[in-house]
Amino acid sequence: MSILRNEIKNNLTYLKNEIEHIFEGGRDTVLSEVTVGQVYGGMRGLTALVCNTSYVDPYSGLHIGDFTVEDLSEKYPEEIFYLLCTGKLPESDFLEEFRKEMNERSGVPQYTWDVLKALPEDTHPMSMLSLGILTMEQESVFKRNYLKGIPKSDFWKYTFEDALNVIAKLPELAAGIYRIRFGDGTLIKRDPDLDWAGNLAMMLGLPNSGKELARLMRLYLVLHCDHEGGNVSAFTSRVVNSALSSLYYAISAGLNGLAGPLHGLANQNCLKFILEIRHRFGDLVSEEEIALYIKETLDSGKVIPGYGHAVLRVTDPRFTAFMKFGKAYCSENVCFQIAEKLFKVVPDILKTYKGGKVASPWPNVDAASGALLFKYGLNQFDFYTVLFGVSRILGFCAQNILAQGLGQPIIRPKSVTNKWVADQLMKN
Ligand code: AMX
């Protein structure tokens, strides 16, 4: 991985120069002001973080380096990891080098399987993924070397080692969780000739696992990899790592945030929602029946899974990429067709719901992906967030490697009490 390591070093030099330049231009320049509403409202719209791996534009969606989702949807997740860390796409021989590196670093320890197999049968697979990674924390190269004493400027190199070790084990870990939780518990051996996503798809042991599932897995793992720095999981992971807790702790913590229904769990809720519609109205459900179901759902106080976003204000380009895949490979599939009908119906209803309060009535990344996975035999909804997590770990790793390399300090915003806020209002 010397090419990637050197390119990260170059990227860090570039970013450090940029920061120096920015500081020369005015360290005290005000970038964002905070209102009382924002302090009580999840800090939405408050610009208070820097993340150089990716950027989400409200109107054009995710950008990684200079690339949009449309530019990247045919790439491999391994290439996206390189891009997240370096700002550039790799040369063509990188995939082969990365495959070899992953083979050398693969192998989930037996004690991890022992812990996962000892859990109650109804443990959520996200808990298993988070815990599986936590069990391996004592293997952290960063932690071992930090205890020996290393210069701050080298922290990122050891964090990078941890990242490669975790990423190499993820396909086996995730597929093993699937087989323990939903199969007979036997683990399928990885194929050293397969790519990262292809191996994960194969090791699940699904009857439908073939080239198309591997292709979908690649797309899935590319599209979920990163979404700038302020989302619950990425921010959590960064905060934890900023205390110099190892990447294992940071990844596990980020995954715990991703497991929530307003974040990664929406993924599984979307397919559940589609299947409920199918169950109630049948395969040939009409748009009118879907509209009725949406209204009933909203009237009962629930949200429509897969719609809305904290930052995006258009249809998520990642949703568009999944729809393109669906049209190419699954246009006859009933669940995919229901996802298409939902797209025709939901935005217009959400636009006027709660007096137009829904900031984005458009679909997000989760609205179609479950229907596609279901088509290929992945019918265990609880597993979907695990796939989201496997992909998002690439982003957690890249964000933490860069932040360490830039010497970013521990994150510690100031909190205040109601009384303090009320006193400020009195003063004004
Ligand atoms: N269905 C119904 N109501 C919705 C809605 C939806 N899909 N999206 C937003 N709203 C409501 C909110 O609940 C909120 O109502 P409240 O003020 O009475 O509580 C109001 O609209 C304003 O919310 P917002 O500013 O538009 O959204 P937000 O930034 O607070 O939340 C999100 C964003 C994604 C949590 C929200 O849109 C949602 O709950 N969507 C459904 C769940 C989902 O798809 N999550 C996946 C997000 C992407 C991901 O991380 N995978």
Domains of the chain, CATH where assigned = 266-375 (1.10.230.10)
The three-point CA angle 161-167-169 to 5° equals: 110
- Where residue 242 falls among pLDDT bands split at 50, 70, 90? very high
Q: What is the pLDDT of residue 2?
A: 87
Is the distance from the beta carbon of residue 308 to the nearest atom of ligand 1 less than 6 Å? yes
By percentage, how much of the chain surpasses pLDDT 90? 94
Q: Is residue 97 pLDDT above 90, yes or no?
A: yes
Q: What is the pLDDT of residue 268?
A: 84
Q: How many CA atoms lie within 13 A of 419 on its CB side?
A: 0
Q: What is the pLDDT of residue 267?
A: 81
103 class by beta-carbon count within 10 Å (0-12 exposed, 13-18 middle, 19+ buried): middle
User: What is the rounded average pLDDT of the residues 172-181?
Assistant: 98
Q: What is the pLDDT of residue 207?
A: 86
pTM for the model: 0.94
- Where residue 47 falls among pLDDT bands split at 50, 70, 90? very high
Q: Name the H helices within 67-150.
A: 69-72, 77-86, 94-105, 110-118, 125-135, 141-148
CA of 258 relative to ligand 1 center, distance in Å: 15
Q: Return the best residue to mutate from 262, 294, 385 for the ligand 1 pocket (most ligand atoms within 8 A of CB).
A: 262
Q: Is residue 1 pLDDT above 80, yes or no?
A: no
CA of 171 relative to ligand 1 center, distance in Å: 31
The three-point CA angle 44-50-52 to 5° equals: 125
User: What is the rounded average pLDDT of the residues 183-193?
Assistant: 96
Q: What is the pLDDT of residue 108?
A: 98
ipTM: 0.97
User: What is the rounded average pLDDT of the residues 381-390?
Assistant: 95
Closest CA to 90 of 169, 11, 192, 35: 11
User: What is the rounded average pLDDT of the residues 213-234?
Assistant: 97
User: What is the rounded average pLDDT of the residues 36-60?
Assistant: 95
Residue 68 φ then ψ, to 5°: -100, 170
Nearest protein CA to atom 12 of ligand 1, as residue = 358
Question: CA 325 to CA 198: how far, in whole Å?
Answer: 17
Question: CA 341 to CA 330: how far, in whole Å?
Answer: 14
| pLDDT tens digits, one per residue of 193-207 | 999 999 999 999 998
Nearest protein CA to atom 34 of ligand 1, as residue = 309
| pLDDT tens digits, one per residue of 139-166 | 999 999 999 999 999 999 999 999 999 9
* 86 contacts 8 by C-beta, under 8 angstroms: yes
Q: What is the pLDDT of residue 428?
A: 82
Q: What is the pLDDT of residue 308?
A: 96
Mean per-residue pLDDT over the chain, rounded: 96
DSSP string, 233-280: HHHHHHHHHHTT--HHHHHHHHHHHHTSTTTTTHHHHHHHHHHHHHHH
Nearest protein CA to atom 20 of ligand 1, as residue = 358
- Cα distances (Å, whole numbers) of residue 103 to 136, 311, 378, 385: 18, 38, 26, 25
Question: CA 129 to CA 148: how far, in whole Å?
Answer: 29
Strand order in the sheet with 61-64: 54-57, 61-64, 67-68
User: What is the rounded average pLDDT of the residues 343-371?
Assistant: 95
CA of 44 relative to ligand 1 center, distance in Å: 13
Please give the positions annotated as active site.
263, 309, 366
The three-point CA angle 417-418-421 to 5° equals: 90
Q: Is residue 208 pLDDT above 80, yes or no?
A: no
CA of 263 relative to ligand 1 center, distance in Å: 10
| pLDDT tens digits, one per residue of 258-298 | 999 888 988 888 999 999 999 999 999 999 999 999 999 99
